[in-house]
A = this chain, B = another copy of it.
């Protein structure tokens, strides 16, 4: 900057103003500065600037690397994050693996914030036993949880109405005539999985269905666990006429087992999932009926809330619940031995409705 100031006969401060996009600089002066900057290959030293501004320019994304990096969930979430925090915003994402203990108990994340290495934190799909949220809350870190309803209730978060999703799926199956409906659980480290199961139990109770207890099988979101559950369910007696799983991966695995057992989908058994994140698979399984979780939108909104907080200096707060919608495809249909209420072909009747967003407490989006 000194060099440019000398070259142009101005002061460092004026040069500084140009690069800080201050509007109290004469256009001609700005030109002169920019010209000299180009000539001298000058580039702002963000280290110095940020040091001065007491900000890092980084937004931390905390997540369990191995748990979710491998899957469409993260891809969708990042799409949303990037929509909110684009290239121009001057913020960059920093990645933190909450798998490590130091991260998990909050020590490391807290330290990073205190040390000014991140300006704010987006927490993606934390586990229910993650302790760091509590730690961070005390620190008054600008923090937004995306994809989960944190147990620590005062933490700002964006998640979705899992219960509604299961309800929609189950009612869809019920109205097709299904009564023997089975369920494959998700891992209990995720509150979402627990909520989904709870909603299923509630559905059973509401409809007065008295299915055998083995109609509810454990699962951990993995293909392997889906297959295991599928084998038990489909070879049981009497087998369910419909199987609802806690995520799409397990639903596909169930379809795989069904096909292996020579069962047609949906003629012999209906299968429904949860998430609607999987790419429509290559055509060797019927497209999946599933509850659509607006991950991208949740992420985008969460990032916007955080950004807004960073700009205003007001800590983020409040919860946003987004509605899950039902996407009916070809893996569900009328059960064999039943006269269902609906027509047998339900092809591609899409009921997605992304604008179905419920704002409980929220500052306006900065679109």
Contact = CB atoms under 8 A, between A and B. Distances in A.
Interface of A: 43-48, 50-51, 54-58, 61, 65-66, 69-72, 74-75, 78-79, 82, 87, 92-97, 100, 102-103, 108, 111-112, 114-117, 222-224, 226-228, 230, 253, 255-257, 259-260, 279-285
B95 A92 contact: yes
15 contacts: A44-B115, A47-B56, A50-B51, A58-B58, A65-B82, A66-B79, A69-B75, A70-B74, A87-B100, A87-B108, A92-B94, A95-B95, A222-B282, A253-B284, A257-B284
A87 B102 contact: yes
Contacts of A116: 45-47
Interface centre among A65, A115, A279, A284 (most CB of B within 10 A): A284
Contacts of A284: 227, 253, 255-257, 259-260
A75 B82 contact: no
Nearest to A41: B114
Given A43-B114, A47-B50, A50-B51, 9 more contacts: A45-B115, A65-B78, A65-B79, A69-B69, A70-B74, A92-B95, A223-B282, A228-B282, A253-B284
Given A93-B94, A102-B87, A57 B117 contact: yes
Contacts of A285: 256
B224 A253 contact: no
A223 B281 contact: yes
B47 A54 contact: yes
A117 B94 contact: no
A116 B56 CA distance: 12
Contacts of A75: 65-66, 69-70
A58 B50 CA distance: 14
Interface centre among A48, A103, A228 (most CB of B within 10 A): A48
Contacts of A279: 70, 222-224
Contact of A47 (B51, B66, B93, B228): B51
Contacts of A283: 224, 227, 253, 256-257
A277 B214 CA distance: 33
A146 to B, nearest CB: 15
Contacts of A48: 51
A281 B226 CA distance: 10
B257 A282 contact: yes
A69 B299 CA distance: 15
A72 to B, nearest CB: 5
Contacts of A222: 279, 282
Given A65-B82, A253-B284, A117 B92 contact: yes
The 9 closest A-B pairs by CB, nearest first: A256-B284, A227-B282, A70-B75, A253-B282, A223-B282, A51-B51, A46-B115, A69-B75, A43-B114
Contacts of A108: 87
Nearest to A285: B256
A249 to B, nearest CB: 9
Contacts of A257: 282-284
